[in-house]
Each structure stands twice: as C-alpha cells, then as structure tokens.
Amino acid sequence: MNNFVFYSPTEFVFGKDTEAQVGVLVRKYGVRKVMIAYGGGSIIRSGLLDRVKESLQAAGVTYGEFGGVQPNPIDTKVYEGIDICRREQAEMILAVGGGSVIDTAKAIAAGVPYEGDFWDFFIGKEKVTKALKVAVILTIPAAGSEGSGNSVITKIETLQKLSLRVPELLRPVFSIMNPELTYTLPPFQTACGIADMMVHIMERYFTNTQDVEISDRLCEGTLMAIIKEAYRIKQNPEDYDARANMMWCGTIAHNGTCGIGCEEDWASHFLEHEISAIYNVTHGAGLTVIVPAWMTFVSRHNPKKIAQFANRIFGIPESEDLEEMALAGISRLKHFFRYLGLPVNFKELDVENPDIERLADSLHRNKGELVGNYVKLTKEDSKEVYRLAL
Ligand code: NZQ
Ligand code: ZN
C-alpha cells in the first residue's frame, strides 16, 4: 500500500426532508449571503427551489439566484457566475443539483477571489489558494462531486473538457442528500449516474499497487451494492431504501475512500471526456461505451485485475487463462449496462462515425504522451481503444 493523505471534511446530512435544514446549516458556517446555483429547471418543477428559499428565509439568510447551468458545464457560465457573485458579494455558493451545477459552483468559488482568468487553474498555470465556500443539495447520485474536491468544466472555444482537483479548498462544506429528491430522475439519467459511480470505483480498483486488500474489498463491496440496488430501482424507482443506498454509494465511489493507498488509473475518464466535450453526450453513457473497450484492450497486456473483477463481481470461475476470464467479465458488464438501457458502443451512443484521430489528438494534447497507469496508453493505444468501441 502506498502512503496517503485522506482529508474529507464535508458534513453529510442524509435522509428524508433534510433540505429543510439548509438555512440552519448555512448559518452554522457563519454565512449570511448565499448564491443559489441550479440547472435547467428540474428543481423549479419539483418545488425544491421554493423549499430551499423558505428554509434560508427562516434562518435569516439572504440569497441571489443563478440558474441555467447545462449538463457538461461550460466556461462561459462560470464567468457569468463569477460576475454575479462578486456583484452581490455572496459568501457561499449553494449548488442545488448534480455534478454539472456543483462543478460550476466550485469553479466560480475558485474564480471569485482570483484576479486572473479562472481557466488558469484548469490548465495548471496557477494554483487555487483561496475560494468561496461551496455547499450542496444533491439531486442526482452520479458524479460524486458532493464529496469530491474536483470540478470538470469544458472550455467552449477549444472544446477542452478538463478537471481541477483541489480537495483542501473545493470540497463542499456540507452536502444535503435526500434520496427522495431522486424519484423525479428520468430512467436514463438514473442509469447514467449508476454507470458513472461504478466507473469511479473501477478507475481505482484497476491498479498495479500490491497489497491493497482494504481498498479492493471496499471497491468490490460497493460495486456489488450498486448492482443490487440498480435492479431494485429499475423495478420500483420510488423504493426509498434502494435510492438511499445508491445515493451513498455514489459518494463513497468518489470521495477517495475506495482508492486509498492505490495508484489510480483514470484513462477511461479521460478517453470519455474527449467524447462528451466533442459530441456533447451524457458522461455516464460515454463511459459505458469506453470502459468495455478499455478493459478489452488492457486485458491483452495486463489481465490480472480485470480477471479478479470478473470473478469477484460477476462470479466468473477462476481459470489459468486470465484474459479469457477477463473477457467473460466484460461481457457480463456489457449485459448489465444494456439492462440499464445504456449504450455499449459508439453506434448505440448515436455517434455513427467518431473522428478517432481528433479524439486521440485532443486527448494526448490535454493529457500528455501517456495516459492512465494500469496500462499506460500511447496515442496508438488510445486509437485502438476508440476503435474497439465502434
Ligand atoms: O438541469 P436540470 O434541469 O436540473 O436537469 C438535470 C440534467 O438535465 C437532470 N436532473 C438532475 N437531478 C434531477 C434531474 N432531473 C429530474 N430530477 C432530478 N432530481 O439530470 C441531468 C444531468 O445533470 P448533471 O448535473 O449533468 O448530472 P451529473 O451529476 O451526472 O453530472 C455530470 C457532470 O459531472 C462531470 C461530468 O463530466 C459531467 O460534466 N463529472 C464530475 C466529476 C467531479 N466533479 O468529481 C467526476 C465525474 O467523473 C464527472 O466527470
Ligand atoms: Zn465520472
């Protein structure tokens, strides 16, 4: 096991009706003026925005509003948010929504006290040294941004989708998680969220680091819980306990717990971010196309952990031929994704003729000569993974 620092100060307030506590929680963190950030309107239709405002008013917290954040959030919305927060002197950004809203809130939080262009942080030109506080009311378990210090933003001019990681400053101070808020999710978004959290675990599980039994078992246990609850949610989207377990799985999948002591991979995410940047597909659906292709490719070179996954998650019997075991597991995984109604190749993603040269060029321009760790991908390897996803 490698050395590690694990710092996860977010206060999670979980359960039915917990959004009613938002006003009191904001005050607890010494804040009197918040900016409520949200997406395309689901929280208006569900009545959540009104309940949030009520709770803030009751606690004597004043607020501004910043709506219209789109999925695969973009830099122009961040600039807009920085202006509004400065003008209204917001002390905290309250993100009410999913990864797109939370990530926009984090980028704004880093941008407000900084005199230069916030994009400097995403391209590694500057380090974040100060940020507004961010708090969350989560409406979709997926990106894990409610417990992570990461933000993923697309620069629209260059179609670069890049991530920023600053756990010490950008982790939300509190995250309110009411599983009932997820009942209104369209089945496709529920499914994409499930796929995303599974892959967050797999990026950590597929490691060459030896003797990480605790991380292996946390990963396997969480993956198995996700698969079990996915079946229950598919049968009854308003099954509270299934939704509750799934929601917490999404947080555990990405708050660092599962990857403790491991060298993590992340090639699948980087391969996917190029797809959602260029073709504006939903991140989870891009992942279910890329991950089986990536697993197939790496099984040729380093099948050990993929075979272990096949055996422990899908019960594929042990055999001396690790690649064969791995391929059997990949086939079961694809079957599961299809059961959820998700695509497993570019065609099913409605990207008929992906521009593989462009995807690979952009990937290696953004991420360097070699991508990932479990197997380090050259540009030729990346092209092969994209081809395997056709
Ligand atoms: O915008 P509204 O109207 O709210 O609708 C949203 C949106 O259309 C809808 N939705 C959310 N909660 C709902 C709901 N509809 C009905 N009822 C509800 N309760 O769902 C749609 C998707 O929302 P979005 O925020 O985009 O989803 P998600 O949480 O999957 O976030 C995806 C983004 O996060 C990034 C992805 O790349 C993508 O840009 N990621 C962020 C990470 C991080 N910060 O650590 C890590 C991830 O790997 C990921 O890359
Ligand atoms: Zn993801």
The CA 146 to ligand 2 mean position distance, Å, reads 13
Q: Are strands 133-138 and 174-177 parallel, antiparallel or unpaired?
A: parallel
- Mean of the pLDDT values across residues 67-82? 98
pLDDT at 119 (0 to 100): 98
**pLDDT grade, residue 77 (50/70/90)?**
very high
Is the shortest distance between the CB of 162 and ligand 1 below 6 Å? no
pLDDT at 35 (0 to 100): 98
The CA 197 to ligand 2 mean position distance, Å, reads 7
For residue 38, give both structure tokens: 């949200």
pLDDT at 352 (0 to 100): 93
pTM of the model: 0.97
Distance in angstroms (rounded) separating the CA atoms of residues 257 and 219: 9
Is the CB of residue 161 less than 8 Å from the CB of residue 200? no
Amino acid at 331: S
Element (H, E) at 48: helix 48-58
pLDDT at 5 (0 to 100): 92
Distance in angstroms (rounded) separating the CA atoms of residues 322 and 367: 30
Atom of ligand 1 nearest to the CA of 161: 37
Is the shortest distance between the CB of 250 and ligand 1 below 6 Å? no
Is the shortest distance between the CB of 145 and ligand 1 below 6 Å? yes
Question: Can you list the domains of the chain with their CATH numbers?
Answer: 11-181 (3.40.50.1970), 187-388 (1.20.1090.10)
Q: To which residue do tokens 């600053």 refer?
A: 166
**pLDDT grade, residue 52 (50/70/90)?**
very high
Pocket test for ligand 1, best of 75, 139, 146 (most atoms within 8 A of CB): 139
**pLDDT grade, residue 136 (50/70/90)?**
very high
Pocket test for ligand 1, best of 189, 203, 251, 272 (most atoms within 8 A of CB): 189
The CA 203 to ligand 2 mean position distance, Å, reads 9
Q: To which residue do tokens 């593989």 refer?
A: 356
Distance in angstroms (rounded) separating the CA atoms of residues 93 and 78: 12
Burial of 296 (0-12, 13-18, 19+ CB in 10 A): buried
Q: What burial letters (b/e) apply to 5-21, b meaning 16+ CB within 10 Å?
A: eeeeebebbeeeebbeb
